Chain A
Amino acid sequence: MTYDKQNLDELIEKLLKFGEDAEELGYWQSIFDDLEPGEQEALISNLRDELEKLEKLK
């Protein structure tokens, strides 16, 4: 199963609003399509988890 790039883009856009590092996230965005599905899943899960925690903090 491959992950939707749009999903990643949305997550990253939201995280950037919280002040995340644009350069680092831009790197992950650029290599996303070159990752294995398991790696994509790990990345999406990491970003989603971070976003959820930051949103709870608001």
Chain B
Amino acid sequence: MEKNMPLLYKSAHILQRKIAQSFIRSFPSLKNSKPCWSSESFIFLINLIYLIYQSSQNITKLITPLARTSQRTHKEGRARQTGGGSDFSKFFLEIKRFLPYNNFIMNRFEKLQTPDTSRERETIMENAVEDRGNLAARIFKSRVADLAGNFIPGIDIPKMAFEASIGKTSSSERLSKRQRTAYAIISGGTALAYTLQLLGMTAEAVTLRTAVAGLAQVEFGPEFLREAGEKARGKFPRVAPILEKTANYAAEKRELVALCIKNAQEKLRRMGNLEGIPLDEKLSL
């Protein structure tokens, strides 16, 4: 060990050897590992301690007055031997100068200290997309209500069809906010298509059980949405373009379309078996 080596570094060096020896005693398998292993690990450890120290500077500031009080009670304290000030910070500043991996770890640590904006960004986007999902539900609900109100007044089946298909998934299907919004768009389009399908039925057929049976037989999906949109073009200009564009959107999301149709038809069948029970009660079942 060099004579002019700073005292703290000498202490660190001795400490390093002691720790390395105890490591090797604790883990005999390390005896055959590279000789530098224990040294690097120690340096890494000291760096980490130093960085943890740096990150808790605010706490140190709070503690410093207490430390000074303590120093006053110990006339020959270590802090005075090294020229006064914070003993702890001087020790680490000294260590820092000799540590080869310091920059690497400092950079890593600085990255950790930088606020993680990616998570925050994701949260902002998820909340916004959820709001758009609710907007989609409102838009489709208003279109369905328009159709139902203007063309088949007094019959609650369109409402039922809408409630059955719009944004409802069973508890076992965990969708992300983004998927739920896509689901709301697709199911809104499906609800519109259901309603248009109902409009094509004869008045006699528009009883709950028959309607459910009729709807259950229809193969819903992007192609059906597109066809429904084309058929509606002349008669229902307010819904036709939305339906066609929703069909294009749904075409890229086959899995969600299948999920939406399955859920809607299951709910319709359940409701169909409950004829005679008020709609609000059925919807809550």
Are A and B co-members of a single complex?
A: yes
Q: Chain A residues in contact with chain B, CB under 8 A?
A: 18-21, 23-24, 27-28, 30-31, 34-36, 39, 42-43, 46-47, 49-50, 53-54, 57-58
Residue contact B241 to A34, C-beta cutoff 8 Å: yes
Sampled A-B contacts (25; CB under 8 Å)? A20-B125, A24-B178, A24-B181, A24-B182, A27-B185, A27-B248, A28-B132, A31-B241, A31-B242, A31-B246, A34-B245, A35-B139, A36-B142, A39-B138, A43-B132, A46-B128, A46-B132, A47-B128, A49-B128, A53-B128, A54-B121, A54-B125, A57-B117, A57-B124, A58-B117
Name the B residues within 8 Å of A19 (CB-CB): 121, 125
Q: Chain B residues in contact with chain A, CB under 8 A?
A: 117, 120-121, 124-125, 128-129, 131-132, 135, 138-139, 142, 178, 181-182, 185, 238, 241-242, 245-246, 248-249, 252
Question: How many Å from the CB of B264 to the closest CB on chain A?
Answer: 20
Q: How many A-B residue pairs have CB under 8 A?
A: 59
Name the A residues within 8 Å of B248 (CB-CB): 27, 30
Please give me the residue from chain A that is nearest to B185 by CB atom.
Answer: A27
Name the A residues within 8 Å of B135 (CB-CB): 39, 42-43, 46
Name the B residues within 8 Å of A27 (CB-CB): 185, 245-246, 248-249
Name the B residues within 8 Å of A28 (CB-CB): 132
The 8 closest A-B pairs by CB, nearest first: A50-B128, A27-B249, A30-B245, A34-B241, A53-B124, A31-B245, A34-B242, A46-B131
Name the B residues within 8 Å of A31 (CB-CB): 241-242, 245-246
Q: Known: A24-B182, A30-B245, A42-B135. Contact between A57 and B120, CB under 8 A?
A: yes
